Amino acid sequence: MSTSSDSLQPLSVSLSPQERFEEYLQTRGLRQTSQRKFLIDAVFSEHDHFDADELIDRLPRRGQENYVSSATVYRTLREFVDAGLLKSFQLDGRTVYELDYGYPAHDHLYCTRCRKLIEFQSESITQLRDEVAAEMGFRVSGHRLIVQGVCKDCGKARRKKRKHDLV
């Protein structure tokens, strides 16, 4: 999945993702394993959106060093969400993950042609959300906005094709 995240800068956090996850595991009486350590490093090595299969494709294959089974990847991704390291959401019938810990709240534009996700922050959207919530006596704990449409690149490609078809 293609991602554009030029506008989002990581926030300063007191613990590394690894330390935050170790803290989470300790509160649940679970132990840190080499596979969990490897996965957290793999996930936090780049800022992108991914599903479990895309992550598995990036990882070492069976028989290679640091191999992690698919079942362990799925289970550990759920643990990362529970620990507040990742957020998950449904997109085109699949579960998509994004970094949460150390990144600001934001929304998305989603191109239905090339599947690019573009992250953005909007104070106006947040202000409108808060105003509507206040009118309704609603306490906001967060929100997720995904605007679907066609990105600039896909729009240009379609316009060029149409001009060509007319010739």
pLDDT at residue 5 in the model? 47
Q: Which fold has domain 9-103?
A: Arc Repressor Mutant, subunit A (1.10.10)
Q: Residue 100, annotated ligand binder?
A: no
Q: Residue 164, annotated ligand binder?
A: no
Q: Residue 143, annotated ligand binder?
A: yes
What would you report as the CA-atom Rg of the chain, rounded to the nearest whole angstrom?
19
CATH 1.10.10.10 residue ranges in the chain? 9-103
Residue whose tokens read 């690019």? 116
Q: Residue 111, annotated ligand binder?
A: yes
Q: Residue 57, annotated ligand binder?
A: no
Whole-number Å distance between alpha carbons of 33 and 115? 34
Smallest CA-to-CA distance from 155 within 101, 111, 125 is with 111
Residue whose tokens read 């060029």? 160
Handedness of CA 38, 40, 44, 46 (dihedral sign): positive
CATH 3.30.1490.190 residue ranges in the chain? 105-167
State the distance between the two ends of the chain, measured CA to CA, in whole angstroms. 34
Handedness of CA 66, 70, 76, 80 (dihedral sign): positive
pLDDT at residue 163 in the model? 55
pTM (2 d.p.): 0.81
Residue 50 β-bridge partners: 97
Smallest CA-to-CA distance from 79 within 40, 38, 34 is with 40
* Tens digit of pLDDT at every position of the chain (167 positions): 555 545 577 677 889 999 999 999 999 999 999 999 999 999 999 888 999 999 999 999 999 999 999 999 999 999 999 999 999 999 989 999 999 998 888 999 999 999 999 999 999 999 999 999 999 999 999 899 999 999 999 988 776 655 555 55
110: phi then psi, degrees, rounded to nearest 5 = -125, 120
CATH 3.20.20.70 corresponds to the domain 105-167? no
